[in-house]
Chain A
Amino acid sequence: MGYLKDERPTTIGVEGGWNLGAYHYKGSRLLEEYVAGLKHKKLTGSFCPGCARVIVPPRNLCGRCHRKMDGRKTVSDRGTITCFVVSPPIYKGKLKVLGMDPVEIGLVKDGQVVIPVFVKFDGSDSNTDTVLLNADPKDVHIGMRVKVVWAKELQGSLADVEGVEPI
């Protein structure tokens, strides 16, 4: 149907910048509370009066009860891995995140394996996404006990939690 146009092997590229500063996404006010706690090595969760779940980091509303989670609870910085993923080794020039090569900008070492994990901190009922550090990929398993690796200088920011490591 219709007429066929000349086939172009690929899309046409146009060089240009992407001004990320043009976006004004708003964070949750609860994040302020959460990061303030991190400065004192405290993991803050919110408590649901409907189903008694504790969610870390805190949320405004319970996803299932739709009740305000006004209560706060500090949970342990130790927890259990509920799920993990082992990345392939990351080599220079293989991967781009936000247009940057993570090896080139020094975020990971050349050939490093990254292990993202879900952790259920003791006293909480939620999964928290983080990374497993100082562990052999062969040893990692569901149910593994871990504790938070705190940054050397705590600044009251999300970066204060560098990841978790086996106990």
Chain B
Amino acid sequence: MKRRNVAVIGCGQTKHSSRRRDVNVAEMVSEAVYNALEDAQVSAREVDAFVVGNMPGFGGVAQPEQWIAESLGAAGKPVLRIATGGTTGGSVGQGGYYVVASGLHDMVVAVAWEKHSDSKEAGATTGLLHVGLGNFFHAAGYGLSLKNLVATSVVGAAAGVAVYQAMFYMHRSGCGIEHFDMVAAKARRNAAKNKYAHLQWPGCTAEDIAKTDIVTYPFRYGHICPASDGASAIVVAEESLARKKAKQPAWFKGLASYTDEENQLQSENFGGVGVTDPSEQRGCWLSAVKAYRMAGIVDPKTEIDVAEIYQPFPSQELFFAERLGLFDEGTAWMALETGETEIEGRMPLDPSGGVNATNAIGSSAMQRILECALQIMGKAEEHQVPKKVRNALAHGWGGVTNYSTVTVLGDTPGR
């Protein structure tokens, strides 16, 4: 099968914060797009098509893609919306690759966003409850007790989903809550070096995080990601354009997206959960294996120079790093202790601060791809890792905790 070589030639994002009340969705998204176009030194006229997406139901607007076309400069051009829950950004980025690699278009903009502040609370009709409603309400017809529903709800939305994973991971790897403090502190510290990040805390230490209250054991308040407003965009081009427009394009070398059976909540059909360890994340390692093979990577431990892992909760940085083959099973927390995962470490994880510091959900997985591209292009400024980046790994996670995207970017096309 003949695929064209494809690269990221420009990156743009907005500053992320709790509230962007000065702009609406369309205006916010166009900020990111224009920043990306400016970075790539191309005009909106040169762009053939747009791939867009956000997490359905989380913002205050149900179908934002229907009114952003003119703000993007997309009038008269194809606009394709992709939505895969938490992995949306990763899928949108990969969608940008697909349409260019296939030969359908030569240059596209892929943009993903979330504007949480438009929705007043999680219980609004758009928002988390809206997402969960169809999953549980059918069971009410069979006497699903409100008491039990409340019991699962008190653990709290996404934190409730991740907290089970964290418990499983702690149980089988031997890591402790203090390691989660360390990951969260690292994310805040790194974010302070990233001017677009949300939760910035220069010099934050594990002790600072450890002072915050427990929300649901083992998660503290300081472990939990924010809900951000923000957008991120990449300009994706085929080889000849990429070489002409960018001094160092960030090439798509390998990518994959796999799912597994839903592995946590008894939703949809209310059947039992066949995956007895939600931190097993088979979809993630299937994606990693496939993406590495496509990228020609044999030993990810030595060949990957930097990784951006989707880690809204600190436990996830650890077990996903293992699932992605960057560390041996149950050892990521030991590497964390020795500082290997710091910006200047052997295997920097989330030098941008990652999702733990900035979580505009639809955009989060896109930001991983964007940050990897910045590292390869050498444009990451203060959080640039101090070594030559040949291969960078971008990961996305979502679904009923079963969807994964893995994208390997490199400094050469590599095939």
**Chain A interface (Cβ < 8 Å from any Cβ of B):** 1-2, 4-5, 7-11, 13, 18, 20, 23, 25-28, 30-32, 34-35, 45-46, 53, 55-60, 62-64, 82-88, 90, 95-99, 102, 107-108, 114, 116, 118, 120, 124-131, 142, 155-160, 162-163
Closest B residue to A143 using CB positions: B171
CA distance A116 to B150 in the complex (A): 10
**Chain B interface (Cβ < 8 Å from any Cβ of A):** 19, 21-24, 27, 30-31, 34, 60, 117-120, 123, 125, 129, 133-134, 137-139, 141-155, 160, 163-164, 167-168, 171, 214-217, 260-262, 265-266, 269-278
Question: Contacts of B23 on A, CB cut-off 8 Å?
Answer: 2, 4-5
- Picked from B22, B137, B271, B275, the residue with its CB within 8 Å of the CB of A28 is B271
**Contact status of A114 and B151, CB under 8 A, knowing A63-B261, A88-B216:** yes
A-B contact pairs, 27 of them (CB 8 A): A2-B23, A27-B269, A28-B269, A28-B271, A30-B269, A34-B142, A35-B143, A46-B271, A57-B271, A59-B269, A59-B274, A60-B269, A63-B274, A83-B278, A85-B164, A88-B214, A95-B154, A97-B153, A116-B154, A118-B276, A127-B272, A127-B275, A128-B272, A131-B151, A158-B148, A159-B145, A163-B148
**A107 and B146 contacting across the interface, CB-CB below 8 Å:** yes
**B216 and A87 contacting across the interface, CB-CB below 8 Å:** yes
- Picked from B60, B260, B261, the residue with its CB within 8 Å of the CB of A11 is B60
**A23 and B137 contacting across the interface, CB-CB below 8 Å:** yes
Closest B residue to A62 using CB positions: B274
**Contact status of A18 and B125, CB under 8 A, knowing A27-B141, A85-B167, A142-B167:** yes
CA distance A108 to B119 in the complex (A): 28
**A25 and B138 contacting across the interface, CB-CB below 8 Å:** yes
Instruction: Kindly list the 5 A-B residue pairs having the minimum CB-CB distance in the complex, ordered from nearest.
Output: A157-B143, A63-B261, A59-B271, A126-B272, A159-B145
Closest B residue to A86 using CB positions: B217
Q: How far does the Cβ of B256 sit from chain A's closest Cβ, in whole Å?
A: 18
Closest A residue to B124 using CB positions: A11
Q: How far does the Cβ of B217 sit from chain A's closest Cβ, in whole Å?
A: 5
**B272 and A55 contacting across the interface, CB-CB below 8 Å:** yes
Q: How far does the Cβ of A86 sit from chain B's closest Cβ, in whole Å?
A: 5
**B164 and A57 contacting across the interface, CB-CB below 8 Å:** no
**B22 and A116 contacting across the interface, CB-CB below 8 Å:** no
**Contact status of A158 and B143, CB under 8 A, knowing A25-B138, A86-B216, A127-B272:** yes
Q: A64-B261, A118-B273 are in contact. List 15 more A-B contacts (CB 8 A).
A: A2-B30, A5-B22, A7-B22, A23-B137, A83-B171, A95-B154, A99-B123, A107-B150, A108-B150, A108-B154, A114-B155, A116-B155, A126-B272, A127-B275, A156-B143
Q: How far does the Cβ of A151 sit from chain B's closest Cβ, in whole Å?
A: 9
Closest B residue to A20 using CB positions: B137
Question: Contacts of A57 on B, CB cut-off 8 Å?
Answer: 266, 270-272
**A158 and B142 contacting across the interface, CB-CB below 8 Å:** yes
CA distance A88 to B261 in the complex (A): 30
Closest A residue to B122 using CB positions: A96
Question: Contacts of B153 on A, CB cut-off 8 Å?
Answer: 97
**A59 and B272 contacting across the interface, CB-CB below 8 Å:** yes
**B154 and A118 contacting across the interface, CB-CB below 8 Å:** no
CA distance A10 to B262 in the complex (A): 36
Question: Contacts of B154 on A, CB cut-off 8 Å?
Answer: 87, 90, 95, 97, 102, 108, 114, 116
Closest B residue to A18 using CB positions: B125
Q: How far does the Cβ of A149 sit from chain B's closest Cβ, in whole Å?
A: 12
**B269 and A11 contacting across the interface, CB-CB below 8 Å:** no
CA distance A159 to B149 in the complex (A): 11
- Picked from B22, B133, B150, B277, the residue with its CB within 8 Å of the CB of A102 is B150
Question: Contacts of A59 on B, CB cut-off 8 Å?
Answer: 269, 271-272, 274
CA distance A55 to B278 in the complex (A): 16
Question: Contacts of A128 on B, CB cut-off 8 Å?
Answer: 266, 272-273
Closest B residue to A121 using CB positions: B272
Q: How far does the Cβ of B290 sit from chain A's closest Cβ, in whole Å?
A: 18
- Picked from A1, A62, A157, the residue with its CB within 8 Å of the CB of B142 is A157
- Picked from B119, B138, B265, B276, the residue with its CB within 8 Å of the CB of A129 is B265
CA distance A26 to B260 in the complex (A): 24
**B152 and A129 contacting across the interface, CB-CB below 8 Å:** yes
CA distance A53 to B274 in the complex (A): 8
**B150 and A97 contacting across the interface, CB-CB below 8 Å:** yes
CA distance A161 to B262 in the complex (A): 23
Question: Contacts of A120 on B, CB cut-off 8 Å?
Answer: 276
CA distance A53 to B273 in the complex (A): 11
CA distance A150 to B147 in the complex (A): 14
Question: Contacts of A87 on B, CB cut-off 8 Å?
Answer: 154-155, 216
Question: Contacts of B30 on A, CB cut-off 8 Å?
Answer: 1-2
Closest A residue to B163 using CB positions: A85
